[in-house]
């Protein structure tokens, strides 16, 4: 029985450039064969870098003209990113590394790691089309299931397009169970410029909430309040962990015993330049001081609750001395010389040794965060709220006048401190968090040597001589950038990548030499 074959020709012009999936269905719309192909229509943007000349001197201005055209040579406007690197101070580029072309047209549609993706787009490799075809036959790929597509099942969007920053999380009961009903929420964003932004809304029935399209820079404090029903604030609020980029460190091996002749000559030249700077300092009769060590006593933080200088004794409250204690006097008992505590619990009394007159012992003066109080108030304090206790005796207590004849016991609480952060308090139905925002755009620093400076010259051995993340070519496809070379006698490598308005991508490379 002879097999019947048939062929169908499909115009390449009907397919977009990049990966195309071809699927063969039977009469019941069941996929029986599938194949990935790469359509190369040669529609990528061409980028040409034209320096004013091929060789430059040190600290000389470089004028670079960028031209963007389509495959037919017609000028097209484009948005580009340009970098200029010192060839001696940076690793040699890999011609098969990832670029914007390989990322958008190839690797973004495939699953797994693609080794040397730039190889398939390098015109110097005659076999690149064949190897790319082999890659598409073996590399994992699955974006959707045809059965779901034919049934009209659209998968939910996991990551929607964002127009700003987002805050998401969940409100739960104290036992971490779902609320079972929507919860009213209030957001307060305290920004670094002293402005505040207020938002209100509701969570879903499971307690999930989200505030989207927010705009804040640097570090911002956000306060979230939740209320269930009319006045139920006994709720627990959590904030989803913000995604952070993964940082990969690559260690470059270095053998100090291997020194190339050109590297040694460069080191000697730099050393001579530093010696020349020191000679200029001596000629100008300037004195280069040796290392100077400045010693001073550590300045103690100013506390507005204290009208005295240094206390005669201080007891710092922490977990080691407050465990098992009920009152402030229980904690300081036996820890301050001359302070006698009689009794225990809320009925304890205290006396500072030597504080007596003809009428008998004199009780000390009690001061709570700068305000005089009685002993009952001191005994009613929670020891978890106390930061420290200062004891003043004799002449040290004279600043409080005659009422301090029996000495002074000063109690300083944590909340009363001027440096206390109220955000640390965990109130029911409230969450206070510090969130990182985005950093505003900053211009890449590049020195200018066409402007006279009164300062002595400094050695310039920059690794990145110039970087422009957004260069826009005009309707004629032209743009011009300028920067200055460094002191290094080296080659400067340019690389530019970008896209046109209609999505065509391109990469350009060029180099110049400094002498």
Q: Quick one: average pLDDT of 262-291?
A: 77
Name the more confident of 182 and 361: 182
- pLDDT tens sequence across 101-121: 999 999 988 888 898 999 999
How far is 241 from 222, CA to CA, in rounded Å?
Answer: 14
Q: Which residue in this structure is represented by tokens 């549609």?
A: 109
DSSP single-letter state for residue 92: P
Quick one: three-class SS letters along 296-313? Answer: CCCCCCCCCCCCCCCCCE
Is the distance from CB of 204 to CB of 178 less than 8 angstroms? no
Using the predicted structure, report yes or no on whether residue 492 has a pLDDT greater than 80: yes
Tell which of 105, 128, 155 closes a domain. 155
Is 512 a member of any domain?
yes
Is 379 a member of any domain?
yes
Using the predicted structure, report yes or no on whether residue 47 has a pLDDT greater than 60: yes
How far is 485 from 494, CA to CA, in rounded Å?
Answer: 13
Is 455 a member of any domain?
no
Is the distance from CB of 186 to CB of 199 less than 8 angstroms? yes
How far is residue 205 from each of residues 180, 181, 182, 209, 260, measured CA to CA in Å? 5, 4, 5, 10, 70
pLDDT score at 475:
93
Question: Quick one: 145 and 54 in the same domain?
Answer: no
Residue 129 parent element (H or E): helix 128-138
Q: Which residue in this structure is represented by tokens 């194949």?
A: 35
134-148, 281-295, 369-383: which range is least confident on average? 281-295
Using the predicted structure, report yes or no on whether residue 235 has a pLDDT greater than 70: yes
Using the predicted structure, report yes or no on whether residue 411 has a pLDDT greater than 80: yes
Question: Quick one: 26 and 145 in the same domain?
Answer: yes
Is 5 a member of any domain?
no
pLDDT score at 358:
55
* Two tokens, residue 345: 């619990």
- pLDDT tens sequence across 59-99: 999 999 999 999 899 999 999 999 999 998 888 888 889 99
Question: Quick one: 84 and 148 in the same domain?
Answer: no
Enter the pTM of the model: 0.56
How far is 391 from 406, CA to CA, in rounded Å?
Answer: 11
In terms of Cβ atoms closer than 10 Å to its own Cβ (0-12, 13-18, 19+), residue 104 is middle
Per the structure, how many domains does the chain have?
4
pLDDT score at 267:
78
DSSP single-letter state for residue 251: P
Torsion of CA 462, 464, 465, 466, to 10 degrees: -150
pLDDT band at 421 (very low <50, low <70, confident <90, very high): low
Using the predicted structure, report yes or no on whether residue 288 has a pLDDT greater than 70: no
Question: Quick one: 356 and 376 in the same domain?
Answer: yes
112-116, 261-265, 312-316, 488-492: which range is least confident on average? 261-265
Question: Quick one: 148 and 18 in the same domain?
Answer: yes
> Of 52, 66, 85, whose CA–CA distance to 486 is shortest?
85
Question: Quick one: 16 and 98 in the same domain?
Answer: yes
Rg (CA), the chain: 37
Name the more confident of 505 and 198: 505
Long-range contacts, 269-272 (Cβ 8 Å, 24+): 270/459, 270/461
Question: Quick one: 395 and 497 in the same domain?
Answer: no
Q: Quick one: average pLDDT of 390-403?
A: 89
How far is 368 from 25, CA to CA, in rounded Å?
Answer: 84
pLDDT score at 296:
78
Q: Quick one: average pLDDT of 448-453?
A: 82
Question: Quick one: 353 and 378 in the same domain?
Answer: yes
How far is 89 from 83, CA to CA, in rounded Å?
Answer: 14
pLDDT score at 367:
93
Contacts (Cβ under 8 Å, ≥6 apart) of 294: none
How far is 43 from 507, CA to CA, in rounded Å?
Answer: 13
Q: Quick one: average pLDDT of 129-153?
A: 84
Using the predicted structure, report yes or no on whether residue 139 has a pLDDT greater than 90: no
Question: Quick one: 20 and 64 in the same domain?
Answer: no
* Domain CATH number, residue 486: 2.60.40.1930
* Domain CATH number, residue 376: 2.170.130.10
Dihedral sign for Cα atoms in the order 423, 429, 435, 437: negative
Is 208 a member of any domain?
yes
pLDDT score at 243:
61
Task: Please state, rounded to an integer, the average pLDDT across all residues of the chain.
Answer: 85
Question: Quick one: 18 and 124 in the same domain?
Answer: yes
Using the predicted structure, report yes or no on whether residue 495 has a pLDDT greater than 70: yes
Bridge partner list, 241: none
Q: Which domain does 31 fall in, by range?
A: 11-41+93-155
Between strands 478-484 and 408-413, the pairing is unpaired
Is 510 a member of any domain?
yes
Question: Quick one: 29 and 122 in the same domain?
Answer: yes
Using the predicted structure, report yes or no on whether residue 181 has a pLDDT greater than 60: yes
> Of 241, 183, 245, 187, whose CA–CA distance to 214 is shortest?
187
Using the predicted structure, report yes or no on whether residue 254 has a pLDDT greater than 60: no
Contacts (Cβ under 8 Å, ≥6 apart) of 13: 41
Between strands 356-357 and 349-352, the pairing is unpaired
pLDDT band at 410 (very low <50, low <70, confident <90, very high): very high
Question: Quick one: 228 and 188 in the same domain?
Answer: yes
How far is 92 from 435, CA to CA, in rounded Å?
Answer: 39
Is 442 a member of any domain?
no
DSSP single-letter state for residue 345: G
Q: Quick one: average pLDDT of 40-56?
A: 92
Using the predicted structure, report yes or no on whether residue 393 has a pLDDT greater than 80: yes
Name the more confident of 288 and 327: 327
* Two tokens, residue 401: 């006048």
Using the predicted structure, report yes or no on whether residue 505 has a pLDDT greater than 70: yes
- pLDDT tens sequence across 14-24: 888 899 988 88
How far is residue 57 from each of residues 261, 268, 502, measured CA to CA in Å? 22, 19, 40
pLDDT score at 5:
80
How far is 409 from 381, CA to CA, in rounded Å?
Answer: 14
* Two tokens, residue 61: 């201005």
pLDDT band at 425 (very low <50, low <70, confident <90, very high): low
Q: Quick one: average pLDDT of 160-175?
A: 87
Q: Please count the CA atoms within 13 angstroms of the CA of 405 that sit on its side-chain side.
A: 9
Is the distance from CB of 409 to CB of 350 less than 8 angstroms? yes
pLDDT score at 158:
80
Is 278 a member of any domain?
no
pLDDT score at 258:
56
Name the more confident of 302 and 39: 39
pLDDT score at 232:
79
Residue 100 parent element (H or E): helix 100-105
Helices (H), 169-318: 261-283
């Amino acid at each position: 029985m002879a097999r019947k074959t048939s062929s169908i020709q499909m115009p390449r012009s009907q397919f977009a450039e990049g990966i195309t999936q071809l699927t063969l269905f039977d009469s019941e719309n069941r996929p029986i064969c599938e194949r990935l192909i790469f359509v190369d229509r040669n529609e990528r943007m061409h980028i040409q870098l034209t320096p004013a000349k091929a060789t430059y001197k040190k600290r000389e201005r470089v004028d670079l003209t960028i031209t963007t055209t389509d495959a037919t040579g017609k000028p097209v406007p484009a948005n580009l990113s340009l970098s200029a690197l010192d060839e001696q101070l940076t690793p040699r580029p890999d011609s098969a590394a990832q670029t914007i072309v390989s990322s958008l047209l190839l690797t973004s549609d495939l699953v797994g790691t693609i080794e040397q993706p730039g190889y398939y787009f390098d015109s110097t490799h005659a076999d690149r089309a064949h190897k790319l075809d082999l890659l598409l036959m073996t590399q994992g790929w699955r974006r959707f299931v045809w059965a779901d597509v034919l049934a009209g099942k659209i998968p939910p969007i996991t990551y929607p397009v964002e127009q700003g920053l987002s805050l998401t999380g969940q409100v739960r009961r104290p036992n971490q169970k779902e609320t079972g009903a929507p919860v009213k929420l209030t957001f307060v964003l305290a920004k670094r410029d002293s402005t505040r932004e207020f938002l209100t809304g509701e969570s879903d029935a499971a307690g999930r909430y989200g505030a989207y399209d927010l705009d804040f820079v640097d570090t911002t404090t956000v306060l979230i309040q939740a209320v269930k029903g009319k006045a139920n604030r006994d709720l627990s609020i959590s904030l989803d962990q913000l995604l952070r980029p993964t940082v990969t460190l690559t260690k470059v091996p270095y053998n100090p015993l291997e020194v190339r002749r050109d590297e040694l000559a460069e080191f000697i030249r730099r050393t001579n330049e530093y010696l020349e700077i020191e000679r200029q300092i001596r000629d100008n009769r300037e004195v280069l001081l040796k290392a100077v060590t400045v010693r001073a006593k550590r300045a103690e933080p100013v506390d507005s609750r204290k009208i005295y200088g240094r206390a005669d004794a201080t007891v710092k409250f922490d977990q080691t001395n407050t465990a098992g204690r009920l009152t402030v006097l229980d904690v300081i008992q036996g820890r301050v010389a001359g302070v006698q505590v009689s009794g225990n619990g809320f009925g304890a009394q205290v006396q500072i040794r030597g504080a007596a007159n003809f009428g008998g012992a004199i009780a000390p003066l009690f001061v709570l965060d700068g305000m005089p109080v009685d002993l009952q108030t001191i005994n009613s304090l929670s020891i978890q709220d106390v930061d420290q206790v200062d004891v003043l005796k004799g002449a040290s207590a004279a600043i409080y006048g005659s009422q301090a004849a029996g000495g002074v016991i000063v109690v300083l609480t944590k909340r009363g401190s001027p440096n206390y952060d109220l955000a640390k308090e965990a109130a029911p139905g409230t969450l206070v968090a510090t969130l990182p925002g985005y950093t505003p755009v900053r211009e890449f620093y590049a020195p200018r040597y066409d402007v006279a400076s009164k300062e002595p010259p400094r050695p310039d051995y920059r690794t990145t001589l110039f970087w422009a993340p957004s260069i826009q070519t005009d309707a004629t496809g032209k743009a011009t950038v300028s920067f200055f070379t460094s002191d290094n006698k080296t080659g400067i490598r340019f690389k530019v990548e970008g896209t046109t308005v209609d999505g065509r991508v391109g990469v350009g490379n060029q180099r110049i030499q400094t002498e």
